[in-house]
Chains A and B, each alone.
Chain A
């Protein structure tokens, strides 16, 4: 009967096969990077420099200066320079996603600049400001609800600042993008929107600080009774750029810490990129965590995990397993069977479970 066609049609499609979601089809926001300039609280959190050259700190405390950078990539895989971007930043004050799935961005709270608020804290949703591709602001005092999400949601181990970035390129104004985003959502070409979280910490110092301020901390033990070693926990740092080993059709062609020279490939080639993070520096990123079955009296050292995802451009598409890789994993790619001379780029973004992240780029040259 003809009606069966309706069901069968649900299985059919036409047109070209879609490339993997990691392929860069249009200019897009890949991620937001952040770095921290220490403020007056807990200067000892820098920790030992045993692991080598200092990597930027990625946890924040009240009074720190936070620098945010939008990483925008064009369809050729080239990072759009900071000066060609315009950004507008919002503090959500709590979760950036409400029970309807989306915060009411049209609400008037987002018309008010954060630095004009009385008793501005991390609980306040407001407009942080505008900038080029990078933006800086001072982290406010802790608010009442800073620990609630961490207590309720096991997926969020760390309290965090939750931000929304409006990014404009190709000559668009970020304020125009923002107005359209709050309005009828038309005319959004050249606009991008991304949520970003920045961890507050180090965690144990944060708990003690919060308890001292009279805030509710998410465990029963009195912070004053915690072992002092906990407060020596250093701040989380941006993971060091990993060493990458690039094999093309099974042959190792390049290894080292990016940036690397362009790697030659031919049509139809299979590429594998193996990541190797610095073990020593990662060791010193391990954290003391409270064992759940003990009432604030037992702790364990948990090593930091790293998660990487990739994006490709030009003649290269991701192949094989498309999921993010954990720690020292690898990505597989394939070069198009038909290609013109040029350069294709691969981006790899890596994030630790403290929400510190960075990006590396690999270039592949095809004749």
Chain B
């Protein structure tokens, strides 16, 4: 017995050492049949079988395989279910049984003496568990929960499995959806968190803005699960259109995106939703000052389902505040996805996805916009082949009422999207990727009472009812190959584009190439270049307007709203080519850079980029008998000119991932020069020509499940069109209008921007659920940055500014 106990005294520490972090991943989980079992003593007391499951504690509840479960005798007066306060003393045990959990986290120990037990569980990457139990004569079952060891080098990695073809170019930036939710200053929204990455312009007041490398946000392709959506964020871009728990990952390609996408010169954003988990019913509910939401996921047959809904309530909160002229936004979004394998490498998926917004300003205007999308996925993956066929239908609806029911604008559209992608590993060194995608939009617009100007009368008159309809097509077909030349990979590709936005379709061919290879064992170099054709559809926005005007009133004063707020944030209705002119042009993207793995799990990436768009004047079929033609004989203003655009710069990213370690985040810097040709041979800074942009985003895991994060942004301001003079226009004997005259964009810039945000998270982990509370403070030191200036009524003096003040907020979420 003594010899056995000596061995026991050695065995347990050895078992713990064996289950060290270094070996935990390497150890293959045994099956039930192979579960090791050792009986170190032959007791005379009655025995029974003890079964159980070991899981991770909290909302994950993931089964832990390869965990060592040791059962020893215990004093009779222990309380079953409670943790043992004193650690096990190997010299004072009478017997021991041991087993290991299988792939499902299940263990089984037959022949365990009935009575009080001490259960010890050891697993790599988890804190040791010692717990009391009671075994009855008929046997017993235990559910044991281990807490992840946050101080150790081994962590649970949130992995996102996403289909990628062998030839597909990796996006420049990838963010894990769960990880990104904890970053400060992003309101728990991973898509907003992605806006902190290098190459992305700073949005005003923290609003979401997908402007890459100084480009036009409207020229960025926004895709969710492979199909386009009208926008990445809700109408007032304080939240993305997909609830954060539903987001698996975000991929940003500021340029040089793969040939399987096209028609966008400003880059590509791909958001991937997360399929439901199959290891039980899980979900999350959250509540904060802004919105409330819930998600549920779980197995369905051999597949899974994941459902999420969210609704904001800030509109109700603000309406309760007795302040005049208050804009009250409300939004909602939902997603349901069903994924089911069919066996033999086949799988299908169904998705229903939608988002809506409503913006009301007293009785002045009421704006509503929504879309609903329904997707079907068929996937096949086996051997050398990967296949994806996915049709989608999206229904868009936008409605704007102004002042009275007599003045409105309504737009409905049906958007049919189809993607068929095929990947074939033809040879060991050669892979092919080919496919086609098409987006057809059929729209109808109806408007009435929109004010149009009659120059003969010198007055605005409401228009009579008008109705327009039309359709437009965007089609692409691509072929890409991946050539492996030793450690180097070369991916040449070509995409054929057809844009049918007007009477004559435009056809463009985009050649693209990507090269990647090693510089050293821990460094790689990469280079990309390609053409990206884009359609130019001149949208005649006659009669459509939103609540914002460049020179809006603000009480008895005037507010100078920057051009980009009007262009990119005004919830107006527009987008189709009423004036019947359309064409296409080409954007060239090129980049070269290197990536290196530095010590302490830090990655460094540096790249230089260049983007250039060709100019084009749209072909125009003139509208005859235009009543707006001024009688003075001065011709109509020149048609919208799509001028040349150029951007170049440098992006640096120093990044450490969430797992492993206590510290994660990144330091990002962008140097940017962006110019546009608003008129022929007149070059001006681009709207988002932010010369320097630095973001430090860090998140630190502290003991007791506390996480602290900070974000510091330092950046150049946007170029402005400063008011240089005004024109006095007496409208009548008792009314004078002052027209501000603005200098060219870039003759003045906004001041340097800097802001610090802090977020603190505290999580309480229970066996089957976890509760998180977060406290987020925006603009910690209350630096008042003038996003919008307020002028006197006659534009002669500028005194006040609108900007984001210090603002704390609080949120609560429960995960199970």
Contacts and interface: CB of A to CB of B under 8 A. Distances in A.
A21 interface: yes
A153 B809 contact: no
B633 to A, nearest CB: 7
Contacts of A155: 459, 732
Interface stretch (A230-238, A254-262, A349-357): A349-357
A6 B288 contact: no
Contact of A2 (B452, B455, B732, B776): B776
17 contacts: A2-B187, A3-B290, A7-B314, A7-B326, A13-B800, A17-B800, A21-B796, A94-B632, A95-B456, A95-B631, A123-B632, A125-B633, A148-B631, A193-B728, A193-B741, A197-B730, A309-B734
A184 B327 CA distance: 35
Interface in B176-213: 185, 187, 205-207
A193 B725 CA distance: 8
A192 to B, nearest CB: 7
Contacts of A23: 792, 797
A203 B794 CA distance: 33
Contact of B291 (A1, A14, A181): A1
A117 interface: no
A191 B318 contact: no
B146 interface: no
Contacts of B807: 2, 4-5, 8
Which interface residue of A20, A99, A353, A355 has the most chain B CB atoms within 10 A? A99
Interface string B773-790: 000101100001001001
A101 interface: yes
Interface in B628-684: 628, 630-635, 637, 682
A224 interface: no
A13 B560 CA distance: 13
B739 A149 contact: no
A2 B725 contact: no
A93 B236 CA distance: 44
Interface in A80-126: 92-104, 107, 109, 123, 125
B635 to A, nearest CB: 7
Contact of B205 (A9, A93, A351): A9
B728 A95 contact: no
A181 B796 CA distance: 17
Given A95-B632, A193-B726, A4 B809 contact: yes
A26 interface: yes
Given A104-B634, A156-B458, A353-B733, 12 more contacts: A2-B776, A4-B809, A14-B784, A15-B800, A26-B796, A95-B456, A99-B452, A109-B634, A125-B632, A185-B742, A194-B729, A197-B730
Nearest to A353: B733
A108 to B, nearest CB: 10
A173 interface: no
B724 A187 contact: yes
Contact of A3 (B239, B729, B797): B239
Interface of B: 185, 187, 205-207, 236, 238-239, 288-291, 314, 317-318, 323, 326-327, 329, 452-459, 556-557, 628, 630-635, 637, 682, 724-730, 732-736, 739, 741-744, 747, 757, 776, 778-779, 784, 787, 790-794, 796-797, 799-805, 807, 809, 811
Interface in A243-292: none
Nearest to A152: B457
Nearest to A311: B794
Contacts of B452: 99
Contacts of A18: 557, 790-792, 797, 799-800
A97 B458 contact: yes
B816 to A, nearest CB: 23
A194 B737 CA distance: 10
Nearest to A143: B631
Interface in A122-173: 123, 125, 145, 148-149, 152-153, 155-156
Given A25-B797, A104-B637, A19 B792 contact: yes
Interface string A177-196: 00001001111110111111
A9 B804 contact: yes
A309 B732 CA distance: 12
Contacts of A8: 805, 807
Contacts of A181: 725, 741
Given A4-B289, A5-B778, A6-B205, A185 B804 contact: no
Contact of A21 (B236, B329, B556, B734): B556
A194 B794 CA distance: 12
B724 A145 contact: no
A11 B321 CA distance: 12
Given A25-B792, A149-B458, A107 B635 contact: yes
Contacts of B779: 5
Contacts of B635: 104, 107
Given A95-B630, A196-B730, A152 B454 contact: yes
Contact of B744 (A123, A185, A323): A185
Interface string A13-37: 1111111110111101100000000
A295 interface: no
B802 A2 contact: no
Contacts of B457: 148-149, 152-153, 156
Contacts of A333: none
A94 B799 contact: no
Interface in A295-339: 305, 307, 309, 322-324, 326
A195 B207 contact: no
**Interface-central residue, A7, A194, A322, A353, by most chain B CB under 10 Å:** A7
- Which one of A4, A188, A194 has the highest number of Cβ atoms from chain B below 10 Å of its Cβ? A4
A10 interface: yes
B728 A29 contact: yes
Nearest to A164: B727
Contacts of B730: 195-197
Contacts of A193: 725-728, 741
B733 A145 contact: no
Contacts of B633: 93, 109, 125
A186 B803 contact: no
B632 A186 contact: no
Contacts of A97: 453, 455, 458, 729
Contacts of B797: 18-19, 23, 25-26
Contacts of B630: 94-95, 98-99, 103
Nearest to B796: A25
Contacts of A307: 733-734
Nearest to A27: B796
Give 9 closest A-B pairs by Cβ, nearest first.
A21-B793, A1-B290, A3-B238, A5-B807, A152-B457, A188-B725, A153-B457, A13-B800, A99-B628
A188 B741 contact: yes
Contacts of A50: none
B786 to A, nearest CB: 9
Contact of A351 (B239, B733, B809): B733
Contact of B747 (A7, A148, A186, A309): A186
Contacts of A149: 456-458
A267 B551 CA distance: 35
Contacts of A49: none
A31 B736 CA distance: 10
A5 B207 CA distance: 11
Contacts of B239: 3
B728 A194 contact: yes
Nearest to B797: A25
A229 B361 CA distance: 54
B796 to A, nearest CB: 4
A318 to B, nearest CB: 11
A356 to B, nearest CB: 10
Nearest to B759: A2
Given A3-B187, A185-B742, A15 B729 contact: no
Interface in A340-367: 351-353, 355
Contacts of A92: 632
Contacts of B805: 5, 8-9, 12
